[in-house]
Amino acid sequence: MNFIITKVEDYMLPCLNKKFFGIECMGCGIQRSISLILRGEFIEAFYMYPAIYTLISLIGFVVLNYFKNFKYATNIIIVLSILNVIIIVGNYIFKLIN
């Protein structure tokens, strides 16, 4: 497992927004956060990218809903999507201020 994690880290894409303009984008940290989750460092993954767990739950629910249709799936997906947008934008603003 450790071999896979190091190989994943070798192929991480750099943030072109940060490279060219000097400011992070709204997705900065998601690759490193996934890498931290694979290593079992769950709290550090949250600090790296706070929306990681809500994104995982959104993607997981969408995939699960593809195979088994839920009654209120549209409402759940909308709520999870809005929650993700709020967390991502809030984190981005927080990074810009600090």
Q: What pLDDT is attached to residue 10?
A: 78
Query: Is residue 19's pLDDT more than 90?
Result: no
Q: What's the pLDDT band for 13 if we cut at 50, 70, 90?
A: confident
Domain shared by 22 and 66, yes or no: no
pLDDT in tens, 33-85: 998 998 899 999 999 999 999 999 999 999 999 999 899 999 999 999 999 99
Angle between helices 52-67 and 73-97 (to 10 degrees): 160
Domain shared by 70 and 90, yes or no: yes
Question: 48 vs 98, which has greater pLDDT?
Answer: 48
Domain shared by 2 and 40, yes or no: yes
Q: What pLDDT is attached to residue 5?
A: 67
Which of 70, 93, 92 is closest to 80 using CA atoms?
70
CA distance 10 to 1: 14
pTM: 0.82
Contact 54/87 with Cβ under 8 angstroms? Answer: yes
Domain shared by 34 and 2, yes or no: yes
Contact 32/14 with Cβ under 8 angstroms? Answer: no
Query: Is residue 1's pLDDT more than 80?
Result: no
Per the structure, the complete domain to which residue 77 belongs is given by 51-98
